[in-house]
């Protein structure tokens, strides 16, 4: 009877079982879709496995693509713990990248130590991204502006500001046909994880996910924040600093995406330019929702989506499927996983009713 | 019962056959890749059926596909991030590609520059003309003087226009784009010096909504011939056709999208460039690190004239085309003034196509309405 009761209240079995059912159902639906396109689904899955996890190169490719998603997903997942839907990770990433370069270039010019420069760049990127998303939080808290719309529109502003800076005041005059800021130079670039061809952004992302999970689910701060998410008025009534919590959590989410931007310039591009707008922010929204806004669940989901992205190229090249194929798979996954939410608490429905039935009787007597 | 058993059996058989066939063909692929077949990877930044930049390259890839002894793999919509590095490595590691055509400008620095030293046996040929002396030996860069074809489009446009007002929808005020706007305008004004070109910058390479808005606003201003420099002219050409404007195409031919209004266009000729490269490599010749040229070298071409183009216009444009083909026509011959009244090329100064000064163009010539910032 105890086991039955656990099943019913979203215990570990259910938390694993429901997404698994959803993923299997999406896989079946997608198989039907590719079969309609005239391709053998088994071949598609074999190729996807090869492209995502099948070789050491593929695995690294997957992890590399997951790295920025880990950080941008937190930008949506953390504020979601407070009941806010923030979709401004793209803007926070761009701001983080731009400000990181702005902070790094003078230090590079002075010949500052490499580690110090990278640290300053990371902090600058995190503060920029954090303030940017906290702005949406502030608008929500004090002005009652819908944070989803605010963060979306602020993203457009961030991209416009970045373009303006890159094509104007911060432009490297030598970047003729692709306006960019000056480069920080190879010496100041963040390298790859030893023994792997994956940059340190992956480690930053993993650390950020674990730490914010601990913060949100194992500290009184996180508990307070989640109470605000449950009911902001009640939180105010019991004397929680709601405004501070809103700002702090949105700042933290933005800081994660800002760090992703810093990694993008310091580990990949070497400079800030329009390539920062690559859709990592929007990809992060998908990851956060699939992870049910749980920072620790962001990790496997980001790896799964990274793998889908990594294998997409192989599907295009070997089977002549269009690029949109993997988008279809992502779309199916998204819809089915969201729909599967209704399974929570219902998977064990017959047992639950039986249990409550059994429990009811003896209790009364 | 029996029918379901057969079904199941044939299904299994099919699956097995598929598996064996797959294993066999991949085994063969590997063997032949080493022996004779040259595996070539093409990478595009957008969709390869965009009626524009990416399609022009995909048409080149299609021409290569028809050659003997090659296997072509293609991947579209690859952003200019670490994604393109992974795509290139995936083509090298998983497909056995030894020749890559990463076709977007932004793929070069830092992505190709990072991979080229790592994969010395692979040849990287990049569109953009960015290779510099001292760059990696296994990297080649190519680009074309497409503004020659724009100049011809300008001539044709000038003869066709009734309002003497042209429109130009452009992505960003960077040298390559400014050069196209200026050459188009100089071509038009060589026919009628009263002609003006209204330019609208959309801010990015693929902005379909803004491009449509810009086209409509140009039409509202009484502009009757329009052209562009954006990645995919599709939306612009279709909008112009419904507004009854004349259109000069860009990147690839958009004649099919505007059967009534299409005049001519400036197109890339990657079919020739890519098949030439592959022939060179198959023969074991060393490919040049830098390849540039215009109409004469066959790197750019123009679309066939549409019905509205008058005989007079054809005759004039053809005569200038012949001069380009003979190699004795210079577009940027002084005196040329910018639209802010500044003398940018002095009288007596002649900047030929290969002149380095043109590579950092930062002005719009007299007759262009608009500003670079």
Give pLDDT tens digits for B320-352: 999 999 998 999 998 999 999 999 999 999 999
Instruction: Write the pLDDT tens digit of every residue in A263-276.
Output: 999 999 999 999 99
Q: Enumerate the β-bridge partners of residue B293.
A: B144
* Distance (Å, whole) CA B6 – CA A3: 45
Residue in A356, A364, A359 with CA at minimum distance from that of residue A8: A356
Is pLDDT larger for residue B245 or for residue A321? B245
Predicted confidence at residue A9, as pLDDT, reads: 45
Q: Strand B123-127 relative to strand B139-144: parallel, antiparallel, unpaired?
A: parallel
A61 to chain B: which residues are within 8 Å by CB? Answer: 86, 89-90
Predicted confidence at residue A340, as pLDDT, reads: 87
Question: Best mutation site among B53, B65, B82, B100 for testing chain A: the one with the most A CBs within 10 Å?
Answer: B82
Tell me the pLDDT band of A54, cut-offs 50, 70 and 90.
Answer: very high
B77: left (phi over 0), alpha (psi -120 to 50) or beta: left
Tell me the average pLDDT of chain B.
Answer: 90
Tell me the average pLDDT of chain A.
Answer: 90
DSSP string, A309-364: HHHHHHHHHHH---THHHHHHHHHHHHHHHHGGGGTTTTTHHHHHHHHHHHHHHHH
Q: In terms of C-beta distances under 8 Å and separation of at least 24 residues, what long-range contacts does B26-31 make, across chains too?
A: B29/B71, B29/B96, B30/B96
A270 to chain B: which residues are within 8 Å by CB? Answer: 110
The verdict on a CB contact (< 8 Å) between A313 and B90 is yes
* Percentage with pLDDT > 70 across chain B: 91
**How far is CA B301 from each of CA B65, B143, B250, rounded to the nearest angstrom?**
21, 13, 10
* Distance (Å, whole) CA A331 – CA A321: 16
Residue in B173, B181, B166 with CA at minimum distance from that of residue B203: B173
The verdict on a CB contact (< 8 Å) between A269 and B110 is yes
| Number of domains observed in the structure of chain B | 2
Q: Do B183 and B311 share a domain, yes or no?
A: yes
The verdict on a CB contact (< 8 Å) between B87 and A268 is no
> Average pLDDT of A109-120?
95
Find the range with the poorest average confidence among A273-282, B10-19, B307-316, B359-368: B10-19
B70-75, strands of its sheet edge to edge: B70-75, B38-43, B99-102, B123-127, B139-144, B290-293
B contact residues 326-365, partner A, Cβ 8 Å cutoff: 359-360
Instruction: Write the pLDDT tens digit of every residue in B107-145.
Output: 998 999 999 999 999 999 999 988 988 889 999 999 999
The verdict on a CB contact (< 8 Å) between A50 and B360 is no
Last residue of a domain, one of B107, B129, B144: B144
> Average pLDDT of A127-146?
96
Other Cβ atoms closer than 10 A to A207: 11
Q: Locate the chain B residue with the closest alpha carbon to A267.
A: B82
Q: Do B99 and B50 share a domain, yes or no?
A: yes
Is pLDDT larger for residue A7 or for residue A52? A52
Q: Do B186 and B40 share a domain, yes or no?
A: no
Tell me how many degrees the CA angle A235-A240-A245 measures, rounded to the nearest 5.
95
First-residue to last-residue Cα distance in chain A: 18
Predicted confidence at residue A263, as pLDDT, reads: 97
pLDDT at A33 > cutoff 50: yes
Residue B29 covered by a domain: no
| Residue A278 at interface with chain B, using a CB cutoff of 8 Å | yes
Distance from CA of A176 to the nearest CA of B (A): 6
Tell me the range of A15-29, A230-244, A341-355 where mean pLDDT is highest. A230-244
CATH number of B55's domain = 3.40.50.2300
Instruction: Write the pLDDT tens digit of every residue in B236-249.
Output: 999 999 999 999 99
Residue B288 covered by a domain: no
The verdict on a CB contact (< 8 Å) between A317 and B75 is yes
pLDDT at A14 > cutoff 50: yes
Residue B302 covered by a domain: yes
Q: Do B99 and B155 share a domain, yes or no?
A: no
Q: Which helix (H) or strand (E) holds B141?
A: strand B139-144
Please enumerate in sequence order all residues whose Cβ is within 8 A of that of A247, keeping only pairs 6 or more positions apart, or say none.
A134, A137, A138, A141
Last residue of a domain, one of B107, B122, B144: B144
Tell me the pLDDT band of A4, cut-offs 50, 70 and 90.
Answer: very low
Distance from CA of A7 to the nearest CA of B (A): 38
The verdict on a CB contact (< 8 Å) between B90 and A270 is no
A283 to chain B: which residues are within 8 Å by CB? Answer: none
| Residue B79 at interface with chain A, using a CB cutoff of 8 Å | yes
Q: Do B185 and B196 share a domain, yes or no?
A: yes
Find the range with the poorest average confidence among A105-119, A295-309, B16-30: B16-30
Predicted confidence at residue A353, as pLDDT, reads: 52
A contact residues 304-323, partner B, Cβ 8 Å cutoff: 309-310, 313-314, 316-318, 322-323
Nearest to B90 among A43, A61, A269 (CB): A61
Other Cβ atoms closer than 10 A to A320: 11
DSSP state of B192: -
Find the range with the poorest average confidence among A265-269, A314-318, B68-72: A314-318
> Average pLDDT of B67-78?
95
Residue in the block written with tokens 């076709």: B103
pLDDT at B271 > cutoff 80: yes
Residue B30 covered by a domain: no
B348: left (phi over 0), alpha (psi -120 to 50) or beta: left
Do A77 and A288 contact (CB within 8 A), yes or no?
yes
Predicted confidence at residue B371, as pLDDT, reads: 93
Distance from CA of B305 to the nearest CA of A (A): 31
Residue B272, SS3?
A: helix
Predicted confidence at residue A25, as pLDDT, reads: 93
Q: Which helix (H) or strand (E) holds B21?
A: helix B2-35
Q: Locate the chain B residue with the closest alpha carbon to A268.
A: B82
Domain, as residue range, for B88: 36-144
Q: What is the largest CA-CA distance in chain B?
A: 92
The verdict on a CB contact (< 8 Å) between B74 and A268 is no
Q: Do B200 and B306 share a domain, yes or no?
A: yes
Please enumerate in sequence order all residues whose Cβ is within 8 A of that of A153, keeping only pairs 6 or more positions apart, or say none.
none
Pull the structure tokens for residue B200.
């609208």
Residue B274 covered by a domain: no
The verdict on a CB contact (< 8 Å) between A269 and B47 is no
* Distance (Å, whole) CA B102 – CA B124: 7
Do A92 and A161 contact (CB within 8 A), yes or no?
no
Q: Do B205 and B247 share a domain, yes or no?
A: yes
Do B208 and B177 contact (CB within 8 A), yes or no?
no
Instruction: Write the pLDDT tens digit of every residue in B291-319.
Output: 999 999 999 999 999 999 999 999 999 99
Q: Do B176 and B227 share a domain, yes or no?
A: yes
Q: Which helix (H) or strand (E) holds B167?
A: strand B165-170
Tell me how many degrees the CA angle A158-A161-A164 measures, rounded to the nearest 5.
150
pLDDT at B34 > cutoff 70: no
Q: Do B65 and B185 share a domain, yes or no?
A: no
Q: Strand B139-144 relative to strand B196-201: parallel, antiparallel, unpaired?
A: unpaired
Q: What is the pTM of this model?
A: 0.86
A55 to chain B: which residues are within 8 Å by CB? Answer: 93-94
Instruction: Write the pLDDT tens digit of every residue in B206-219.
Output: 999 999 999 999 99
* Distance (Å, whole) CA B290 – CA B274: 14
Pull the structure tokens for residue B366.
């007299």
pLDDT at A232 > cutoff 60: yes
Last residue of a domain, one of B144, B174, B208: B144
Distance from CA of B161 to the nearest CA of A (A): 31
Predicted confidence at residue A12, as pLDDT, reads: 66
B359 to chain A: which residues are within 8 Å by CB? Answer: 176
Sequence-ordered alpha helix ranges (H) in chain A: 2-8, 12-36, 41-49, 56-80, 89-110, 114-143, 147-167, 201-218, 220-230, 232-237, 242-263, 280-290, 298-319, 324-339, 349-364
Distance from CA of A103 to the nearest CA of B (A): 21
Other Cβ atoms closer than 10 A to A254: 35
Q: Do B122 and B231 share a domain, yes or no?
A: no
What Rg do the C-alpha atoms of chain B give, in angstroms?
24
Q: Do B195 and B342 share a domain, yes or no?
A: yes
Burial of B50 (0-12, 13-18, 19+ CB in 10 A): buried
Q: Do B99 and B77 share a domain, yes or no?
A: yes
Residue B60 covered by a domain: yes
pLDDT at A2 > cutoff 90: no
Residue B24 covered by a domain: no
DSSP state of A276: G
* Distance (Å, whole) CA B123 – CA B137: 9
Residue B13 covered by a domain: no
């Amino acid at each position: 009877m105890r086991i039955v009761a656990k099943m019913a209240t979203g215990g570990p079995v259910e938390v694993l079982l429901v997404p698994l059912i959803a993923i299997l159902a999406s896989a079946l639906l997608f198989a039907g879709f590719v079969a309609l396109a005239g391709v053998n689904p088994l071949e598609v899955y074999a190729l996807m496995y090869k492209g995502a996890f099948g070789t050491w190169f593929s695995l690294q490719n997957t992890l590399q693509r997951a790295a920025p998603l880990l950080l941008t997903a937190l930008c949506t997942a953390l504020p979601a713990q407070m009941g806010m839907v923030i979709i401004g990770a793209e803007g926070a990433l761009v701001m983080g990248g731009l400000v990181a370069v702005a902070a790094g270039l003078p230090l590079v010019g002075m010949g500052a130590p490499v580690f110090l420069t990278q640290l300053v760049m990371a902090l600058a990127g995190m503060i920029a991204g954090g303030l940017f998303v906290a702005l949406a939080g502030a608008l929500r808290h004090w002005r009652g502006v819908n944070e989803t719309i605010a963060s979306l529109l602020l993203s457009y502003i961030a991209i416009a500001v970045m373009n303006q800076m890159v094509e104007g005041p911060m432009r490297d005059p030598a970047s003729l046909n692709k306006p960019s800021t000056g480069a920080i130079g190879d010496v100041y670039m963040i390298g790859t994880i030893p023994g792997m061809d994956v940059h340190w952004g992956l480690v930053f992302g993993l650390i950020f996910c674990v730490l914010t999970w601990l913060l949100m689910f194992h500290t009184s701060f996180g508990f307070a924040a989640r109470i605000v998410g449950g009911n902001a008025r009640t939180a105010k009534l019991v004397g929680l600093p709601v405004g501070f919590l809103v700002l702090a959590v949105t700042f933290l989410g933005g800081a994660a995406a800002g760090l992703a931007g810093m990694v993008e310039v310091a580990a990949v591009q070497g400079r800030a330019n329009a390539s920062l707008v690559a859709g990592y922010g929007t990809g992060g929204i998908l990851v956060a929702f699939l992870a049910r806004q749980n920072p620790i669940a962001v990790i496997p989901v980001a790896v799964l989506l990274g793998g889908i992205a990594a294998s997409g190229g192989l599907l295009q090249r070997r089977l002549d499927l269009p690029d949109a194929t993997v988008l279809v798979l992502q779309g199916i996954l998204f819809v089915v996983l969201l729909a599967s939410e209704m399974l929570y608490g219902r998977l064990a429905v017959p047992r639950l009713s039986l249990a409550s039935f059994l429990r009811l009787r003896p209790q009364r007597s | 019962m029996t029918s379901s058993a057969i079904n199941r059996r044939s299904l299994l058989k099919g699956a097995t056959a598929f598996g064996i066939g797959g294993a066999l063909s991949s085994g063969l692929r590997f063997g032949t890749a080493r022996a004779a077949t040259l595996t070539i990877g093409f990478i595009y930044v957008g969709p390869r059926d965009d009626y524009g930049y990416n399609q022009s390259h995909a048409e080149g890839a299609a021409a290569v596909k028809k050659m003997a002894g090659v296997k072509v793999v293609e991947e579209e919509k690859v952003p200019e991030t670490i994604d393109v590095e992974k795509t290139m490595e995936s083509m090298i590691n998983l497909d056995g590609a030894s020749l890559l055509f990463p076709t977007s400008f932004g793929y070069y620095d830092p992505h190709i520059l990072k991979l080229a030293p790592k994969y010395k046996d692979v040849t990287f040929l990049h569109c953009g003309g960015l290779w510099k002396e001292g760059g990696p030996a296994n990297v080649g860069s190519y680009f074309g003087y497409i503004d020659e074809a724009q100049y011809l489009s300008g001539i044709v446009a000038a003869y066709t226009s009734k309002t003497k007002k042209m429109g130009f929808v452009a992505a960003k005020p960077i040298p390559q784009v400014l050069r196209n706007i200026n050459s188009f305008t100089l071509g038009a004004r060589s026919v009628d010096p009263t002609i003006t070109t209204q330019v609208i910058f959309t801010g990015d390479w693929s902005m379909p909504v803004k491009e449509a808005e810009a086209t409509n606003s140009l039409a509202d201003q009484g502009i009757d011939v329009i052209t562009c420099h954006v990645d995919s002219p599709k939306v612009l050409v279709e909008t112009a056709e419904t507004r009854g404007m004349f259109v000069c195409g860009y990147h690839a031919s958009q004649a099919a999208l505007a059967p009534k209004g299409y005049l001519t266009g400036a197109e890339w000729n990657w079919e020739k460039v890519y098949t030439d490269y592959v022939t060179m490599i198959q023969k074991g010749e060393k490919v040049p690190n830098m390849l540039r040229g215009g109409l004469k070298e066959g790197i750019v071409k123009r679309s066939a004239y549409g019905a509205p183009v008058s005989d007079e216009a054809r005759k004039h444009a053809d005569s200038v085309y012949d001069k380009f083909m003979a190699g004795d026509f210079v577009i940027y011959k002084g005196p040329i003034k910018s639209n802010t009244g500044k003398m940018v090329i002095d009288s007596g100064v002649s900047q030929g196509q290969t002149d380095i000064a043109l590579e950092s163009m930062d002005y719009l010539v007299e007759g262009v309405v608009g500003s670079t910032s």
